[in-house]
């Protein structure tokens, strides 16, 4: 007798042979990996009680009355207050692993080759929205400059930066969601890029905190360089700013490498800001150097692609980091299944 159960990702009714009970199956519709139950998931009506039998015998409409033990579903009923705002899925257990430079780069290349169309479309949307926001908010500063009003010019620059931060946060979270589904299942839906709603406010707080930490670390490292200004000796000031500037950049990059997976944890595990940062620091242990080399190499190659293609390649390079590279690093570092590991399921 086949086993019937619902997919935890899209609620599609699945049917497998009884010998597959207790194993894993892949949903043909959404690609979700689901545990096959030992028996079909069905609702069995409870046996009628003595009171129900008496009512059915004396009530002329008893034969059509529904059993009070079965709850009637109302399609117009409002959800309870305790209903979760984010769809909960069965997620695999996390297992800390050390990523390989070659394996990660090879997987990123295969994903990009197989799903170049959706990735390029996401990149086109990303660039169009980001550039459109910048143009829509960038007219204030030139007006202030033409009016010779520093206050208007500064206000325009602030508005442009704030609007850019809000929009870029949404786009970056969207690319992470898109990329996680892409690397997990091997298929991509551009609509995933716009499923940011439940995570947006926490994403704003997370990215703002990460920015503050990065620049805060850099400023702390630069304090000795600022101190040399008091000497009024250029032969000391300039080398000091160069040396401590490099030190600040290095320390800032180290801080970013510890936090780089926080956004992926937030959208994948629905964690809070603090928990996302803690998990990122935990699973980046032993993976910082490989992540830095991957980011550096792909960044250099990406710049060359943009230059050679006269900026046309930006539609692929722009979403590659957040939409392919970092989701791949996240899934491999946390020991979660990818599309390659599920091919044999």
Per-residue model confidence as pLDDT tens for the chain (345 residues): 577 777 777 777 777 777 667 777 777 777 777 777 776 554 434 445 444 555 455 555 544 444 444 444 454 444 444 334 444 456 778 999 999 999 999 999 999 999 999 999 999 999 999 999 888 887 776 776 677 777 877 888 888 899 999 999 999 999 999 999 999 988 888 999 999 999 999 999 999 999 999 999 999 999 999 988 888 888 888 999 999 999 999 999 999 999 999 999 999 999 999 999 999 999 999 999 999 999 999 999 999 999 999 888 889 998 998 899 999 999 999 999 988 776 544
Burial class (CB in 10 A: 0-12, 13-18, 19+), 58: exposed
Burial class (CB in 10 A: 0-12, 13-18, 19+), 78: exposed
Give the C-alpha distances (Å, rounded to integers) separating 97 from 69, 114, 202, 284, 287. Answer: 49, 26, 27, 9, 8
CA distance 221 to 246: 9
CB-based contacts of 125, cutoff 8 Å, min separation 6? 190, 193
Give the C-alpha distances (Å, rounded to integers) separating 145 from 120, 160, 187. Answer: 37, 15, 49
Global confidence as pTM: 0.71
Burial class (CB in 10 A: 0-12, 13-18, 19+), 140: middle
């Amino acid at each position: 007798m086949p086993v019937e159960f619902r997919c935890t990702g899209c609620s599609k009714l699945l049917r497998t042979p009884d010998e597959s009970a207790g194993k894993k199956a892949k949903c043909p519709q959404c690609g979700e990996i689901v545990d096959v139950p030992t028996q079909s998931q069905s609702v069995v009506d409870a046996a009628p009680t003595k009171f129900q039998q008496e009512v059915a015998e004396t009530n002329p409409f008893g034969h059509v009355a529904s059993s009070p033990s079965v709850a009637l579903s109302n399609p117009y009923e409002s959800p309870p207050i305790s209903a979760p705002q984010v769809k909960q899925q069965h997620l695999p257990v996390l297992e800390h692993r050390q990523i390989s430079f070659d394996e990660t780069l090879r997987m990123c290349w295969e994903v990009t080759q197989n799903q170049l169309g959706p990735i390029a479309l996401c990149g086109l949307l990303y660039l169009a929205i980001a550039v459109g926001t910048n143009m829509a908010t960038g007219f204030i500063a030139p007006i202030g400059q033409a009016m010779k009003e520093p206050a208007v010019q500064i206000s325009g620059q602030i508005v442009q930066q704030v609007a850019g931060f809000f929009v870029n946060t949404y786009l970056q979270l969207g690319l992470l969601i898109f990329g996680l589904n892409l690397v997990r299942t091997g298929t991509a839906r551009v609509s995933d890029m716009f499923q940011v709603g439940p995570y947006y406010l926490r994403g704003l707080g997370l990215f703002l905190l990460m920015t503050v930490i990065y620049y805060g670390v850099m400023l702390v490292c630069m304090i000795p360089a600022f101190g040399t200004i008091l000497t009024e000796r250029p032969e000391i000031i300039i080398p000091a700013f160069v040396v401590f500037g490099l030190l600040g950049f290095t320390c800032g990059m180290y801080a970013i490498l510890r936090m780089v997976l926080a956004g992926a944890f937030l959208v994948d595990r629905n964690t809070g800001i603090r928990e996302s940062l803690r998990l990122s620091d935990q699973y980046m242990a032993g993976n910082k150097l490989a992540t830095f080399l991957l980011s550096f190499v792909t960044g250099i190659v990406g710049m060359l692609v943009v230059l050679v293609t006269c900026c046309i390649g930006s539609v692929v390079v722009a979403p590659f980091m957040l939409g392919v590279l970092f989701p791949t690093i996240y899934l491999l570092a946390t020991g979660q299944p990818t599309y390659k590991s599920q091919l044999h399921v």
